[in-house]
Chain A
Amino acid sequence: MKTRHSIAVIAMALMASTSGIAHGQEASKEIKIVLPEQPANLEPCGTIITNVGQILSQNVTEALTVIDAKTGLPQPKLATEWARIDDMTWRIKLRPGVKFQDGTGMDAKAVAFSIKRMTGGALTCNNMAKFGDRTLEATPVDDLTLDIKSDRPEPILPTLLSVVMVISPNTPADKPVNDPVGTGPFKLTSFDTQTVTMNRFDGYWGEKPEIEKATYVWRSESSIRAAMVETGEADLTPSIAIQDATNPETDFSYLNSETTAMRVDMSKPPLNDLRIRKALNLAIDWEGLKALFGPDVKRASQMVVPGINGHDDSLQPWEYDPAKAVELVAEAKAAGVPVDTEIVLIGRNGIYPNGGEAMEAMAAMWQTAGLNVKLTMLDVADWIRYLQKPYPEERGATLLQMMHDNNKGDSAFTIPIFYRSTGQYSTVSDPAFDAEIDTALAASGEERTKDFKAIFTKARTDVVSDIPMFHMIGYTRVGKRLDWKPDITTNSEIPLAHIHMRD
C-alpha cells in the first residue's frame, strides 16, 4: 500500500512539473520555434543558408528590398524607391527615420558599409553567391540616397538587393560575427549551443509586432519536432516529413520553391544523343513516382516554380510514354548510338524524403526502356564532385539526382547555372544558346520574361539536358496558439512580425 502511494505521489509530481514545462508559454506572447538544424553561426552575410535566414531575415536584419512571394517582384523595405540612372548604375532612396538596434541611424553610409563588407572579400560571404562574379560599388549621394554601380549591366539589381542585409556600421568589417545588429523588429539577445533568443525591438521603424519574444531551438528528427508542437513545447516547426504531417488542423503544406530533377551529362555517349535524352523523360511513370512524394507535389516542366519571373505556365511536362521511349532507344541504336553503354545514375543520400526510393524506381524504368542504368548512392561530399565543375575526368555517362531552390524571384538565379556553357552545373555547350541566355539576362521587363520562357521551352524541347521531376511541397506544423501560414519563402525566412496570436 505504501509503495503504491509513493508511486502515485511521484506520478502526480511529475505531471505537475511537466505541465509547467509544456504549457508555460500559453499566456504570454513568447513563442518557441523548433528548427531542423542548429545554425552554425549568425553571420548576417549568410542569410541565404536556410537555418540562418529563418532566424535573422526580416527579424533581426532587413534588406533593402524584399521579394513578393506571389509575384516574385522586389518590394520596398529599407529602400523606398529605386531607378536605373545608366546601364551600370542604380540610384536607391532609403527609408527615413530607421535606426539600428544599437541606436545608430540607418543612412546611405551605413548601407555602403554593409555592401562593402559583403563584397570586400575580407570575410566569406555566402550571400555573394547570388551576385556571381559581379563587383559592386556603393557611393552615398546624400544621407538617404546612394548609387550602386556594377561592373556590367544589372537589370535585376533591386531583386539582388533582397540578399544584402543592412547592418550597423559598428559591426567588424573584416571578420564574421554571431551577434548581428540590424534594423529589424527583433533584437538578438542570446545565441548558444541550445537556443537563440530575441526580444521585440521597441525602436523599430515599422508596425510593432505582436510577438514579444522568440526562442529558437533545433532538433534534427522530424517526428520529435512535430511532437514538440503537438505537446505545446514549441509553437512552430518548418520542414516536417510528410509522414509526420498527420494533423490537418496544425499541418500546412506549401509549394516550397524547390524543384527536383535529374541532370543529364550531355557530353558523354549515349547521353549526347537527343533521342536518348527524350527517352529518359518518356520512360518514367510520373503518376506512380508522385506517390513517393505525396499528392500535393506539382509535376515540373522547368527548373523554377510558378511565381518566379520566367516560369512558363503553358510549358507542359513530359508525359509517360514507355512505348515511345523504347522506340527512341531502338532508333538511336539503329543509328549507331552505343545504347548499351553503362549509364551511372548518381543519387545523393538524404537529398529529400524518399529520394533513394525514387532513384531505384527510375533506374528500373530506364532499364525497362532498354538502357543500361546502374544506380550509385553517394554522400553529399562525393556527390558534389559530380554536381559542380570541374567534373571528374574519369566519369562516364552520368545522370545526377539534384534539387534546385530558387526563391529569389527571377530565373537569372537558375538559367545561367544550368544551361550556359560556363554554368556551374551545366553540361550544355552551345554558343547559340549562350547568346540567347546572355540576351535574356541583359533584358528587363516583359522582354526578360519572354526571353526566359523561350529558354525554358528550348531547354525542355530541343536541348533536354535535364529531367525536371516535381516542384516540391514543404510541410510546416503551426501550434494552435498561432495564426500564421507558411508560403514559398518559409524555407528562407520566418518573419515573426507576420505571426499573430490566436485569441
Chain B
Amino acid sequence: MLSFIGRRASHSIISVMGLLALVFFLTRLTGDPSSLFLPLDSTAEARAAFAKLHGFDQPVYWQFLQYLRDLLSLDFGESVRQNRSAMAVALEAFPQTLKLAVVAMLLSTALALVVGSLAASRPGSLFDRVVTLVSLSGASAPDFWVAIVGILIFAVSFELLPTSGTGSYLHWILPIFVLMLRPFGLLVQVVRGAMLGALASPYIKTARAKGLRRQQIIFGHALRNSLLPVITVAGDLTSGLINGAVIVETVFGWPGIGKLMIDAIIQRDFAVVQSTILVTATAIFILNICIDLLYAVLDPRIRY
C-alpha cells in the first residue's frame, strides 16, 4: 500500500512539474501583462519600467529558469496585482472552494445513493419516473440561472436567505444547493443504472430466496457492489468542483479559487495563475490517490 502511494506520488510530482512548465509557457503566450495592468493611457516608458520591475523584459526561457530556481526555495512569486505572495493568495482562496466542494459532494452523493437505489428497486414505478425526471432536470439546469432564480425567490421575495457572501450557515444554503444539482442528477442515474444490474444478479435472487428484508438486500448487498462506478463518477465531479465552482463563486461572491484563477488568467497575473494551478493540481492528485485506495477498500479483488 505504502509503495503504491509512493509510486503514485512520484508520478504525480513529475506530472505537476510538467503541468507547471506548460502553464508557464502558455501564460506567457497570452501577451504582456503591462497592457492590462497599467492604465490604457500609460506611456511606453511606464510600460517598459513595469516590465523591467517584474522581469517580463527578460527572454521567456530565462524567466522560466528563474521561476524554477525560486521554486526550489518555495518562492512562488508575487502577485503583480495584489502586492503579496501569489501562493498566499491561492492558499487563502482554496479552502473556501474545498469546503463548498466537500459539503456539496458529500450531500449529493449520499442523497443520490439513497434515491438512486430506491428508484432502481422499483423500476418503472411512479417514484422511479419522478426521480429520473428530477435528476435529469437537475443535471441539465444551468447553474447560473438556478442561482439567480434562487436568489430572487429565497433572498429577494421571501427574505429567508442572504443573497450572497459568507459569514453564517445561511450563506451556505443557496450555493450548496446550486452546486449539488448537477452531481446529484448525474449520480442518481449512475447509481440507478449500477443498481439495476446488481439487483438482477443471481446473488440477489439467492438473498431474496433466503428471505432477507428489502432494505437489507438493496443497501446491504446490491449497493456495495454498485459503488465502484459511482465512486469513479463522484471523483470526477469532485475534481471539477475542486478546480473551482466559478459560476457559483461569481454569483454568490464566494471567494474561492475558481474565480481567482479565471480573474488571474484574464488579468495576466502569471504568478497567481501558476500558484492556483499548482494548488488545485496537487489537490486533484491527492484526491485520485484517495479514490484508488477506496477502490481497494470496496473491492477485495483490487490490491496494490
Number of residue pairs spanning A and B whose beta carbons lie under 8 angstroms apart: 127
If A19-B159, A224-B151, A233-B163 touch, whether A381 touches B30 (CB-CB below 8 Å) is yes
Interface centre among B49, B160, B165 (most CB of A within 10 A): B165
Q: Are B168 and A21 in contact (CB under 8 A)?
A: yes
CA–CA, A49 to B253, complex, Å?
21
Shortest Cβ distance from residue A196 to the other chain B in the assembled complex, whole angstroms = 13
Q: Which residue of A lies closest to B158 (CB)?
A: A15
CA–CA, A121 to B268, complex, Å?
22
The 0/1 profile, CB within 8 Å of A marked 1, for residues 152-180 of chain B is: 10011001111111111010000000000
Task: Please name all residues of chain A whose beta carbon is closer than 8 Å to the beta carbon of B81 when the two chains form the complex.
Answer: 40-41
If A14-B170, A40-B81, A43-B83 touch, whether A126 touches B163 (CB-CB below 8 Å) is no
If A224-B253, A227-B155 touch, whether A233 touches B162 (CB-CB below 8 Å) is yes
CA–CA, A279 to B10, complex, Å?
66
Q: Are B162 and A219 in contact (CB under 8 A)?
A: no
Q: Which residue of B lies closest to A131 (CB)?
A: B43
Residues of A222-262 contacting chain B, CB below 8 A? 223-224, 227-228, 230-231, 233
CA–CA, A207 to B253, complex, Å?
35
Q: Does B100 contact A (CB under 8 A)?
A: no
CA–CA, A379 to B80, complex, Å?
21
Residues of B230-268 contacting chain A, CB below 8 A? 250-253, 255, 263, 266-268
Which listed residue (B45, B156, B170, B253) contacts A230, Cβ 8 A?
B156
Which listed residue (B31, B161, B167, B250) contacts A220, Cβ 8 A?
B250
Q: Are B251 and A224 in contact (CB under 8 A)?
A: yes
Shortest Cβ distance from residue B82 to the other chain A in the assembled complex, whole angstroms = 5
CA–CA, A282 to B146, complex, Å?
44
Q: Are B253 and A218 in contact (CB under 8 A)?
A: yes
CA–CA, A17 to B49, complex, Å?
53
CA–CA, A80 to B36, complex, Å?
36
Q: Which residue of A lies closest to B162 (CB)?
A: A21
Q: Does A48 contact B (CB under 8 A)?
A: yes
Task: Please name all residues of chain B whose beta carbon is closer than 8 Å to the beta carbon of A86 when the two chains form the complex.
Answer: none
Shortest Cβ distance from residue A387 to the other chain B in the assembled complex, whole angstroms = 7
Task: Please name all residues of chain B whose beta carbon is closer than 8 Å to the beta carbon of A129 when the two chains form the complex.
Answer: 38-39, 41-43, 46
Q: Which range contains the number of B residues in contact with the other chain?
A: 35 or more
Q: Are A126 and B155 in contact (CB under 8 A)?
A: no
Q: Does A424 contact B (CB under 8 A)?
A: yes
Q: Does A430 contact B (CB under 8 A)?
A: no
Task: Please name all residues of chain A whose beta carbon is closer than 8 Å to the beta carbon of B268 when the two chains form the complex.
Answer: 381
Shortest Cβ distance from residue A492 to the other chain B in the assembled complex, whole angstroms = 12
Q: Are B49 and A132 in contact (CB under 8 A)?
A: no
Q: Are A40 and B82 in contact (CB under 8 A)?
A: yes
CA–CA, A372 to B246, complex, Å?
40
Which listed residue (A18, A19, A193, A385) contacts B255, Cβ 8 A?
A193
Which listed residue (A19, A40, A126, A219) contacts B164, Cβ 8 A?
A219
Q: Are A124 and B253 in contact (CB under 8 A)?
A: no
Task: Please name all residues of chain B whose beta carbon is closer than 8 Å to the beta carbon of A218 when the two chains form the complex.
Answer: 253
Task: Please name all residues of chain B whose beta carbon is closer than 8 Å to the beta carbon of A121 when the two chains form the complex.
Answer: 49
CA–CA, A276 to B59, complex, Å?
43
CA–CA, A132 to B252, complex, Å?
40
CA–CA, A420 to B37, complex, Å?
24
Task: Please name all residues of chain B whose beta carbon is closer than 8 Å to the beta carbon of A124 when the two chains form the complex.
Answer: 37-38, 46, 49-50, 53, 80
Q: Which residue of A lies closest to B152 (CB)?
A: A227
Q: Does B101 contact A (CB under 8 A)?
A: no
Q: Are B253 and A22 in contact (CB under 8 A)?
A: no
Task: Please name all residues of chain B whose beta carbon is closer than 8 Å to the beta carbon of A193 when the two chains form the complex.
Answer: 92-93, 255
Task: Please name all residues of chain B whose beta carbon is closer than 8 Å to the beta carbon of A223 when the two chains form the complex.
Answer: 148, 151
Interface centre among B35, B83, B159, B163 (most CB of A within 10 A): B163
The 0/1 profile, CB within 8 Å of B marked 1, for residues 408-426 of chain A is: 0000010001000000110
Residues of B78-102 contacting chain A, CB below 8 A? 79-84, 92-93
The 0/1 profile, CB within 8 Å of A marked 1, for residues 28-62 of chain B is: 00110001111111111110011001000000000
Task: Please name all residues of chain A whose beta carbon is closer than 8 Å to the beta carbon of B82 when the two chains form the complex.
Answer: 40-41, 178
Q: Does A371 contact B (CB under 8 A)?
A: no
CA–CA, A379 to B267, complex, Å?
11
Task: Please name all residues of chain A whose beta carbon is closer than 8 Å to the beta carbon of B160 when the two chains form the complex.
Answer: 11, 14-15, 18
CA–CA, A48 to B40, complex, Å?
11
CA–CA, A41 to B82, complex, Å?
5
Task: Please name all residues of chain A whose beta carbon is closer than 8 Å to the beta carbon of B252 when the two chains form the complex.
Answer: 224
Q: What are 11 sample pairs from A and B whose C-beta atoms fall under 8 A apart?
A: A22-B162, A133-B45, A176-B83, A224-B163, A224-B252, A224-B253, A228-B163, A230-B156, A231-B156, A381-B268, A388-B35
- Knowing that A40-B81, A227-B163 touch, tell me 7 more A-B residue pairs with CB under 8 angstroms: A21-B162, A121-B49, A126-B38, A128-B46, A133-B43, A193-B92, A381-B30
Binding site for B on A (CB under 8 A): 11, 14-15, 17-19, 21-22, 38, 40-41, 43, 48-49, 121, 123-124, 126, 128-130, 132-133, 175-178, 193-194, 217-221, 223-224, 227-228, 230-231, 233, 379-381, 384-385, 387-389, 413, 417, 424-425
